[in-house]
Structure 1
Amino acid sequence: MKLKGLGVSAGVAVGPARVWHNTPLRVPQRSLLLEQIEAELERLDQALAVTRDELRSLTERLRTDVSAEVAAIFEAHAEMLNDPALVDEVQAQIRSLQVNAEHALAEVVGHYTAALRTLEDEYMRQRAADLEDVAQRVLRHLEGRDATHQLETPVIILADDLTPSDTAQFPAGMVLGFATAGGGATSHTAILARALGIPAIVGLGDGVWQAQEGTIVTLDGDTGVLDLAPSAAEIAAFERKQLEQQQRQASERTAAQAPAITADGVRVEVLANIALPGGCSDALRWGAEGIGLFRTEFLFLDRREPPGEEEQYLAYRQVVEHMQGRRVLIRTADIGGDKNIPYLLVEQEPNPFLGWRGSRLLWGMAPLLQTQMRALLRASAHGPLGIMFPMISGLNDLRALRRLLEEVRETLHTERTPVGQPAIGVMIEVPSAALCAEQLARECDFFSIGTNDLAQYTLACDRTNPRVAHLLDPLHPAVLRLIAQTIRAGRAAGIHVGMCGELAADLSAVPILVGLGLQELSVSPASIPAVKRVIGQLTLARAQGIADAALELETAEEVRALAAATLQTLTASPIDEVAHGA
């Protein structure tokens, strides 16, 4: 029985199924005598303290061993436990209702999460799941249960969905793959699986419950297919693929420290996308040649007020200095859409992706934007830094932002504050920006194509809506032609053109993107070795031929078939160590 879902972490896996039922802990209600209340409050405080220590230790381990982006998930969990309103309410329930801490915590968290799930904003709905995850940790400590997951042999985990805690706490090396009935491309399971380098499929539906515990299944994170009853021949084929995958990954990691150069000597820069300054270490470890996207909005999330100028300046300076002269492109905060910031008191909109978001929102909150511009200009005095603006729809947007940036620069000069000369660029993620790329290219220093939004706006598909997820393909001919037009306009004007959207990490798309003339691909750190490998197996002439053929096709399915066939021929070839510069 084969199930089709969404592949969110590349690679293949074969092994025994472990059907994971993550049922909530049973929460008993016990009545307390008046003289027992203080002892119960103390028991709650101890469980909270142990949970905070556990989260602190987990965050530090993940930041060192995995990535800063993954660690940030658990930093946010720790912040939830530090919310005095939440803790005060639980304590009040214990006192007023004279009930045990478990019951009070479950009641309070239940009210919070129910309210969050009524909101339209996807980010806030995700906070409900995070809060439940944190509460489960506290409940385990209150009941004296071990939160770690015991696995005796490597398995493929099948579940309805997995919490961040579940995913992070499986023993290292014991999970071959993840397959979940629910979830999406931006779920925590997807983020963690990619960071850990574990093949994963989400959105498989209830068919996962047809799996028999311990039976051998195969999982293909590239195609999104989970086979619950593979034949002996199919199992043997997957075992060969799995071994080849492990050998290739080892070679890729070594080769990734060298520049990405095609077999005929054309260099394509491969940079990293990061969300926090600590991500620089991950980027360099995986072979990044710079930072192609620093998502500054993560500095604004999960707090009660925006970061001040000094905090931002230190963060941006840390990234610039850590990268030691390599390119660093920092995006102004892309707030709005699926990233709502409660303390900004932005009114709920019926279509937030089409409303007040990105540069539009920052422009409407000029002090917030000016503070970020001051911090960025100050940080640019410490090394090569590019400032890029999101959600640009045309020349007026760019000109207005550049004028404001110059005003901020003049103020800093008046204050005798050192500033550098940052490059100024725009995100090409709105169709009108791609169509006006010639005009934009004359007034900025670089383009960075954001395919996640460019695809959703071009195809009229909300990328957070699973009902239309199958329609959202950035290799759709319409999107591909906008990408090609943007690259042509940028190169004609002599400016740098890169891509930081998820398409840049799609190995089957890399030949087309190189053939279209992209000079830079910016991807998650763990994706860098594989992207460099594909580039090293290409010649520019072959890539251009593939890109030309793709532009003539009529449907996304046809482009995908061409891309898949191309990748298959490259994967079948041995890695050319010379092409990698080894």
Structure 2
Amino acid sequence: MSFQVFGIPVSRGVAIGRAVLVTSSRVDVAHYFITDEQVIAEIQRATQARDEVAQELEALKQDLPHDAPHELAALLDVHLMLLHDEALVGATRQWIVERHYNAEWALSAQLEVLARQFDEMEDDYLRERKADLEQVVERILSALAREQGRTPSDAASVVQRDFAGEDPLLLVAADIAPADMMQFKRSVFHGFITDIGGKTSHTAIVARSMDIPAVVGTREASRLIRQDDWVIIDGDAGAVIVNPSPIMLEEYRFRQRQSELERARLARLRHTPAVTLDGEKVALHANIELPADATAAIDAGATGVGLFRSEFLFMNREGELPDEEEQFLAYRAAVEAMRGLPVTIRTVDVGADKPLDRMSASELRHEHVLNPAMGLRAIRWSLSEPSMFRQQLRAIYRASAFGKVRVLIPMVAHLGEMRQIQESLKKVQQQLTDAGRAFTKVDLGVMIEIPAAALMLPLLLPYVDFVSIGTNDLIQYTLAIDRADEAVAHLYDPWHPAVLHLLATTIAQARAADKSVSVCGEMAGDPLFTDLLLAMGLRSFSMHPSQIPSVKQRVLRADASRLARLLPDLAASEDPQAAVEAAFSAVRRNH
């Protein structure tokens, strides 16, 4: 039966493929693809774990006291029967052989299939046997975890390996942590669907960086969609179509082909300088998460890296933070890959929806904070861990010997923080000089993502060389909206007059002080905002590499001076989005 699920569109385009449900059982387990050579060994792992559980159950039966209720022995018999049922054993083996799932994933996938069958049974007694099945599978998963030297709960991350299946695969999950999303960078998945999340949650941001369709905030998708269902992701409308009809399938395949043609056309703009019709040069930088992403930035025609999110070097490490040398090598790799173009490295921005695997001592004291978005995160966390902060700064400064490097500080709100930062910078420079380490001048910038920072910008500007506006958090904090909460996602409004006022004021004040200013939040990569930001005087944008071509096309068609003359009237509008679209489209038509 075909049905639709609706959520929040976060990455445009159409994806068609088979559903892959991750962590669908009650026990979190590792999910990864295995190679052809590993199939037999993985089947043996599953078989050995099942045999181990069978021995445990038989031992329990033998150890039952003589006066034990008859029902206990009968229950153990039911579990033993389920343990050897071909519907579980044979199908699990099939997942391993045909889909190349690891044993844990194969068991979880088949549990999902069988659990739904139990749910659809009319007989109450049979329907309640689902709990027995879950208990049996959990025993097998525990046996597999013991064999790997871990517990099921600490093996929840999803690891990708090379896999060549016949059908495209779409990932369906209740949620995907940002650190896990990073492992999907070059994965087999062609699209993502999650139950929770908002338009600018970091899961959504990484999905956009991969340039594949994604819909989040669907609430029930992971429970409604079954393993191996045919699914269409409409990343433009935020719709998920499950088991589509042949007519609908053909319509979306046509849309896929049209989208591919449009991408090919935009790709031809790669080497075209981003200059407006009236001759204003515009820098289009790239946001990256890992050094390897610099290649995609160059391929997209980026004029530099406007935001290197260094926190992703700190994630998925089982609590072991990268040392100075490892960070230096990563930063140097990105700098060298950019071939002399500037690289802006943001100091680690953990907290809120980007926690580390293991909290430091200072974080442990705050692990039960009610609102992590307003807690110990970003520069607050760095300043609470001064040795870690200086270690990262030393690595960044050392990388400056290999190209143009800038350092960006997130979530600044107090002048006292700026003074502490400058003290740390001076100490780091002295340490490197004493150690004979090479480095060059590194420009210092702050992210304007808290309304307080925007309002006190004139006081901050003497301390910095440049300003970068993080619109994602600026919107969140200005409107008091948790950007990862789908329950209030409809209130997250980048067109809100207060947000636009802070943007325009920040850009104007930075330009007046002769300090460079850029926008590195999601607004920078949305062509709907390009004309507006140009009108405000912005001449530096930073976005995901995949978004550069469409924004460049908008820049090439814009007349910045004419757009700027329209800005005062638009600022007074009750509906800025409608006013901007009407006014700026009229300007484009006149050209």
User: TM-score, normalized by length of structure 1?
Assistant: 0.70
Does residue 363 (structure 1) correspond to residue 383 (structure 2)? The answer is: yes
Using the TM superposition, give the Cα deviation of residue 400 of structure 1 relative to its aligned residue in structure 2, in angstroms: 2.2
Counterpart Cα distance in 2 of 1:105 and 1:213? 22
Query: 1:131 aligns to what?
Result: 156
Counterpart Cα distance in 2 of 1:184 and 1:332? 24
Pairing partner for 1:344 from 336, 360, 379? 360
What CA deviation, in whole Å up to 9, does each residue of 1:191-213 have, x standing for no partner? Answer: 67534533332333558999999
Query: 1:105 aligns to what?
Result: 144
Counterpart Cα distance in 2 of 1:213 and 1:418? 55
Contact 1:437–1:485 under 8 Å retained in 2: no
Counterpart Cα distance in 2 of 1:542 and 1:406? 45
Does residue 199 (structure 1) correspond to residue 213 (structure 2)? The answer is: yes
Pairing partner for 2:414 from 383, 387, 394? 394
Change (3 A) 1:210 1:458: same
Using the TM superposition, give the Cα deviation of residue 351 of structure 1 relative to its aligned residue in structure 2, in angstroms: 2.2
Using the TM superposition, give the Cα deviation of residue 422 of structure 1 relative to its aligned residue in structure 2, in angstroms: 0.7
Using the TM superposition, give the Cα deviation of residue 321 of structure 1 relative to its aligned residue in structure 2, in angstroms: 2.0
SS in structure 1 at match of 2:218? coil
Counterpart Cα distance in 1 of 2:225 and 2:140? 38
Pairing partner for 1:498 from 509, 518, 530? 518
Change (3 A) 1:22 1:273: closer
Query: 2:79 aligns to what?
Result: none
Using the TM superposition, give the Cα deviation of residue 542 of structure 1 relative to its aligned residue in structure 2, in angstroms: 4.2
SS in structure 1 at match of 2:389? helix
Counterpart Cα distance in 1 of 2:433 and 2:488? 50
Using the TM superposition, give the Cα deviation of residue 182 of structure 1 relative to its aligned residue in structure 2, in angstroms: 5.0
What CA deviation, in whole Å up to 9, does each residue of 1:440-475 have, x standing for no partner? Answer: 122211001111111111111112222112211222
Does residue 559 (structure 1) correspond to residue 565 (structure 2)? The answer is: no
Per mean C-alpha deviation after superposition, the further-off stretch among 516-525 and 25-34 is 25-34
Counterpart Cα distance in 1 of 2:538 and 2:482? 26
Contact 1:381–1:421 under 8 Å retained in 2: no
Using the TM superposition, give the Cα deviation of residue 255 of structure 1 relative to its aligned residue in structure 2, in angstroms: 0.6
SS in structure 2 at match of 1:356? coil
Change (3 A) 1:569 1:148: farther
Q: 1:453-532 maps to which residues of 2 (within 5 A)?
A: 453-532=473-552
Per mean C-alpha deviation after superposition, the further-off stretch among 255-264 and 235-244 is 235-244
Query: 2:297 aligns to what?
Result: 283
Contact 1:29–1:103 under 8 Å retained in 2: no
Change (3 A) 1:107 1:437: same
What CA deviation, in whole Å up to 9, does each residue of 1:275-328 have, x standing for no partner? Answer: 111111111111111000111111222223322222222222222222122111
Change (3 A) 1:211 1:103: closer
What CA deviation, in whole Å up to 9, does each residue of 1:146-174 have, x standing for no partner? Answer: 986543xx89x6956697799889978xx
Residue 279 of structure 2 aligns to which amino acid in structure 1? G
Query: 1:94 aligns to what?
Result: none
Query: 2:399 aligns to what?
Result: 379
Pairing partner for 2:12 from 10, 32, 46? 10
What CA deviation, in whole Å up to 9, does each residue of 1:241-285 have, x standing for no partner? Answer: 655533321121121233222222211111111111111111111
What CA deviation, in whole Å up to 9, does each residue of 1:119-172 have, x standing for no partner? Answer: xxxxxxxxx7x71646xx99xxxxxxx986543xx89x6956697799889978
Counterpart Cα distance in 1 of 2:8 and 2:300? 25
Counterpart Cα distance in 2 of 1:452 and 1:11? 22
Does residue 292 (structure 1) correspond to residue 292 (structure 2)? The answer is: no
Per mean C-alpha deviation after superposition, the further-off stretch among 519-528 and 4-13 is 4-13
Per mean C-alpha deviation after superposition, the further-off stretch among 232-241 and 432-441 is 232-241
Query: 1:81 aligns to what?
Result: none
Using the TM superposition, give the Cα deviation of residue 10 of structure 1 relative to its aligned residue in structure 2, in angstroms: 1.6
Query: 1:117 aligns to what?
Result: none
Contact 2:192–2:213 under 8 Å retained in 1: yes
Query: 1:310 aligns to what?
Result: 325
Change (3 A) 1:543 1:158: farther
SS in structure 1 at match of 2:528? coil
**How large is the Cα RMSD of the aligned pairs?**
4.7
Change (3 A) 1:509 1:215: same
Query: 2:462 aligns to what?
Result: 442
Counterpart Cα distance in 2 of 1:308 and 1:33? 46
What CA deviation, in whole Å up to 9, does each residue of 1:97-139 have, x standing for no partner? Answer: 9x98655136999x9676xxxxxxxxxxxxx7x71646xx99x
Counterpart Cα distance in 2 of 1:492 and 1:104? 66
5+ unaligned residues in a row in structure 2: which ranges? 27-45, 57-92, 102-135
Counterpart Cα distance in 1 of 2:313 and 2:221? 39
Residue 104 of structure 1 aligns to which amino acid in structure 2? A
5+ unaligned residues in a row in structure 1: which ranges? 35-46, 56-96, 115-127, 139-145, 577-582
Change (3 A) 1:192 1:375: closer
What CA deviation, in whole Å up to 9, does each residue of 1:210-254 have, x standing for no partner? Answer: 999999998653343567899999999978865553332112112
Does residue 417 (structure 1) correspond to residue 437 (structure 2)? The answer is: yes
Change (3 A) 1:539 1:3: farther
Counterpart Cα distance in 2 of 1:169 and 1:378? 29
Contact 1:2–1:229 under 8 Å retained in 2: no
Contact 1:181–1:204 under 8 Å retained in 2: yes
Residue 131 of structure 1 aligns to which amino acid in structure 2? A
Change (3 A) 1:2 1:538: farther
Pairing partner for 1:324 from 334, 339, 349? 339
Q: Which has the larger radius of gyration?
A: 2
Does residue 224 (structure 1) correspond to residue 238 (structure 2)? The answer is: yes
Residue 559 of structure 1 aligns to which amino acid in structure 2? P
Counterpart Cα distance in 2 of 1:428 and 1:220? 33
Counterpart Cα distance in 2 of 1:233 and 1:100? 44
Using the TM superposition, give the Cα deviation of residue 19 of structure 1 relative to its aligned residue in structure 2, in angstroms: 6.6
Residue 344 of structure 1 aligns to which amino acid in structure 2? S
Contact 1:296–1:334 under 8 Å retained in 2: yes
Query: 1:535 aligns to what?
Result: 555
What CA deviation, in whole Å up to 9, does each residue of 1:349-405 have, x standing for no partner? Answer: 222221211111111111111111222222222221111111100333222211221
Contact 1:508–1:567 under 8 Å retained in 2: no
SS in structure 2 at match of 1:255? coil
SS in structure 2 at match of 1:267? coil
Counterpart Cα distance in 2 of 1:236 and 1:549? 46
Number of residue pairs aligned between Structure 1 and Structure 2: 483
Query: 1:270 aligns to what?
Result: 284
Pairing partner for 1:406 from 415, 418, 426? 426
Query: 2:88 aligns to what?
Result: none
Query: 1:333 aligns to what?
Result: 348
Per mean C-alpha deviation after superposition, the further-off stretch among 233-242 and 255-264 is 233-242
Contact 2:172–2:221 under 8 Å retained in 1: no
Counterpart Cα distance in 2 of 1:367 and 1:162? 33
SS in structure 2 at match of 1:442? helix
Contact 1:4–1:204 under 8 Å retained in 2: yes
Counterpart Cα distance in 2 of 1:168 and 1:388? 24
Using the TM superposition, give the Cα deviation of residue 411 of structure 1 relative to its aligned residue in structure 2, in angstroms: 2.8
Counterpart Cα distance in 1 of 2:321 and 2:157? 25
Change (3 A) 1:567 1:282: farther
Counterpart Cα distance in 2 of 1:308 and 1:212? 43
User: TM-score, normalized by length of structure 2?
Assistant: 0.69
Counterpart Cα distance in 2 of 1:519 and 1:289? 12
Counterpart Cα distance in 2 of 1:101 and 1:219? 34
Change (3 A) 1:208 1:444: closer
Using the TM superposition, give the Cα deviation of residue 178 of structure 1 relative to its aligned residue in structure 2, in angstroms: 5.7
